[in-house]
Amino acid sequence: MSKLANPIRLLLLFAALAAVALPATGCGTTSADPERGRVLFREKCGTCHTLAQAGTTAQVGPNLDDAFAAARSAGETGDTVEGVVKAQVEYPRPSTDDPAVSMPADLVTGQDLDDVAAYVGLYAGVPGAAPPKVPGGPGAQVFANSGCGTCHTLAAAESGGVTGPDLDEVLPGQSEAMVKEDIVDPNKEIAKGYPPNVMPSNFEQSLSPKEIEDLVEYLLESTSKGSKKSKG
């Protein structure tokens, strides 16, 4: 039996129980932001879970599409899935000290949990769910899938995020190596005026080497003045 068998069975069992217990509770949240939840899911959950719409393929924890497929085919709603996700995040089953078997409790909380649960409730186990397609090639798709535009302005992607630096201003003149380092080790050199630990530091784990390569190429081409000289 694989190490994932028990978590998947327990999650499916909990989903079945939730189907009875949750519909009358009004567990859906009207203030949740599924789009923001997608970004948070990729950052916090995508390194362990597969979810087609998020474009994640990790196999440390249960495949969420597989886990909720039966509930979807039985007619359960997104509200039910949302409630299951919230309960599982708050009280992981099984609960152990082994991260390969049990995720830590309260991986996301408060509004973050509302947003992630609403997002998973919309897409987990939905046949044909896939990341939204964007123009601009594979690098543009990685930029969109990873939620980069939520925090950064980039004219080519029509994004206007202000949490992080304006990429149209800071990328011209940078080399491929410099841009890659900014992505995989964002705290090594903090942009002036921005605090540390804002940008996720796990992109080297959540993205494949090819995805990082495509993203770097897209960013340099999009800012047109990017230099491909070696760093240092």
Mean pLDDT, to the nearest integer, of 214-232?
Answer: 73
- DSSP E strands: which ranges in the chain? 50-51, 56-57, 153-154, 159-160
Spatial distance between the Cα atoms of 211 and 167, rounded to a whole number of angstroms: 18
Q: Which two tokens stand for residue 171?
A: 């990328």
Where do the domains of the chain lie? 5-123, 138-222
* Residue 24 burial (C-beta neighbours within 10 Å; 0-12, 13-18, 19+): exposed
Amino acid (one-letter) located at 211: E
**CA-only gyration radius of the chain, Å:** 19
Mean pLDDT of 106-134: 94
- Token pair recorded at residue 102: 């049990």
Range 138-222: architecture per CATH? Orthogonal Bundle (1.10)
String of DSSP letters for 1-23:
--TTHHHHHHHHHHHHHHHHHSG
Longest dimension (CA), the chain: 61
4's CB contacts (< 8 A; 6+ apart) are 59, 61, 62
* pLDDT of 20 over the 60 cut: no
Task: At 66, give phi and psi (nearest 5°).
Answer: -65, -40
Cβ–Cβ < 8 Å for 82, 28: yes
Report pLDDT for 22. 41
Domains 5-123 and 138-222 share a fold: yes
Alpha carbon distance 116, 113 (integer Å): 5
CA distance 130 to 28: 23
Look at domain 5-123 and name its CATH class.
mainly alpha
Q: Identify the band that residue 6 occupies on the pLDDT scale cut at 50, 70 and 90.
A: very low
219 contact partners, CB below 8 Å, separation of at least 6: 139, 143, 154, 167, 171, 179, 226
Residue 136, class by beta-carbon neighbours within 10 Å (0-12 exposed, 13-18 middle, 19+ buried)? middle
Q: What is the pLDDT of residues 151-170, one digit of tens each?
A: 899 999 999 888 899 999 99
135 vs 149: CA distance, rounded Å: 14
pLDDT at residue 83 is higher than 50: yes
Note the pLDDT of residue 205: 86
Checking if the pLDDT of 8 tops 70, the result is no
Helix pair angle (110-123, 78-90), 10° resolution: 140
Is the pLDDT at 97 greater than 70? The verdict is: no
pLDDT band at 60 (very low <50, low <70, confident <90, very high): confident
Instruction: Retrieve residue 42's tokens.
Output: 């990729």
Residue 41 above 80 pLDDT? Answer: yes
Average confidence score pLDDT of the chain: 83
pLDDT of residue 163: 86
Greater model confidence, 18 or 185: 185
